[in-house]
């Protein structure tokens, strides 16, 4: 079953608020609350497996199963790996340590080492957040936020807050698997900078999300048949 993207790019007249939606909620609620972020995309597919098998597959998926995703992420991080990562950090924030995780580890386990903060993990799915200046070729270290309260309270100009969710709900005897990404820049300058970057990465990012869903679905179906 093909995925269905629903990307949104703001026009010059888009209104902007530096206050992001709350993070202390279930994964489905988080996905809904961030649905009005100025930059967002959503991909979804039906899976012929029960939600509990799909949810388990989310936890067990490894980076080694995402060949295209690993390749595109390697290309994206090449400038930082060759020239050294920029050291810029927001005032008062602790830069997080970003490391390349073992591809055989569950993918969700590598999120923290790459600067993501787990926001929620429940029966419906997972959500993780990150704060960065993603539009730079040599990406500065993401801000080291340690809890959801700090993530909500972060409004330092010049940065962008991103939330990624993966959720599953019952549908037609199987499951509806979805992933959404929402980005909330902290000021107008960051919104303009991210908008230019978004136009460049929207398509490859969508390819990664589609592969992500397909790999989870494949794992879930295999579990159902084994």
CA distances in angstroms from 106 to 44, 51, 66, listed in the order given: 21, 19, 12
Predicted pLDDT at 139:
62
Enter the pTM of the model: 0.75
Q: What are phi and psi of 45, to 5 degrees?
A: -155, 150
* 3-state DSSP assignment of residue 208: helix
What are the CA-CA distances from residue 90 to residues 184, 217, 218 (Å)? 16, 38, 40
Closest CA to 101 of 87, 93, 91, 111: 111
The pLDDT assigned to 81 comes to: 47
Q: Are strands 174-185 and 125-132 parallel, antiparallel or unpaired?
A: unpaired
Q: Which CATH architecture has domain 41-225?
A: 2-Layer Sandwich (3.30)
Tell me the per-residue pLDDT of 87-130, one tens digit each, with 9 for 90 and over. Answer: 444 444 444 444 444 567 787 777 777 788 989 889 999 999 99
**Residue 24 is encoded by which pair of tokens?**
């202390």
Cα–Cα distance, 44 to 177 (Å, whole number): 6
Helix (H, G, I), strand (E, B) or coil at 116: coil
Helix, strand counts (H, E) of the chain = 5, 7
Which regions of the chain are under pLDDT 50? 1-23, 78, 80-82, 85-101
Expressed in angstroms, the distance from the first to the final Cα of the chain is: 21
Going edge to edge, which strands form the sheet with 117-122?
A: 39-47, 174-185, 160-171, 125-132, 117-122
Bridge partners (DSSP) of residue 139 are none
3-state secondary structure labels for all residues of 32-79 = HHHHHCCEEEEEEEEECCCHHHHHHHHHHCEHHHCHHHHHHHHHHHHH
Cα→Cα distances 30→20, 25, 155, 203, Å: 11, 6, 19, 24
| Biggest alpha carbon–alpha carbon distance for the chain | 53
Dihedral angle over CA of 32, 37, 41, 45, nearest 10:
0
């Amino acid at each position: 079953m093909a995925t269905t993207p629903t990307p949104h790019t703001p026009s010059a007249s888009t209104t902007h608020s530096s206050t992001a939606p709350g993070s202390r909620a279930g994964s489905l609620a988080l996905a809904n609350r961030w649905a009005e972020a100025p930059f967002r995309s959503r991909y979804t597919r039906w899976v012929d497996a029960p939600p509990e098998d799909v949810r388990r597959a989310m936890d067990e998926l490894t980076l080694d199963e995402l060949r295209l995703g690993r390749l595109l992420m390697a290309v994206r991080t090449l400038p930082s790996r060759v020239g050294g990562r920029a050291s810029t950090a927001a005032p008062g924030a602790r830069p997080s340590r970003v490391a390349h995780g073992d591809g055989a580890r569950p993918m969700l386990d590598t999120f923290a080492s790459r600067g993501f903060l787990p926001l929620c993990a429940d029966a419906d799915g997972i959500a993780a957040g990150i704060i960065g200046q993603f539009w730079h070729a040599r990406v500065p270290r993401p801000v080291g936020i340690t809890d959801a309260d700090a993530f909500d309270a972060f409004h330092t100009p010049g940065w962008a807050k991103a939330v990624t969710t993966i959720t599953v709900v019952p549908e037609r005897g199987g499951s509806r698997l979805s992933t959404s990404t929402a980005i909330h820049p902290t000021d107008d300058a960051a919104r303009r900078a991210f908008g230019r970057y978004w136009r460049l990465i929207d398509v490859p990012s969508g390819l990664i999300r589609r592969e992500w869903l397909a790999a989870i679905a494949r794992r879930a179906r295999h579990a159902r048949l084994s």
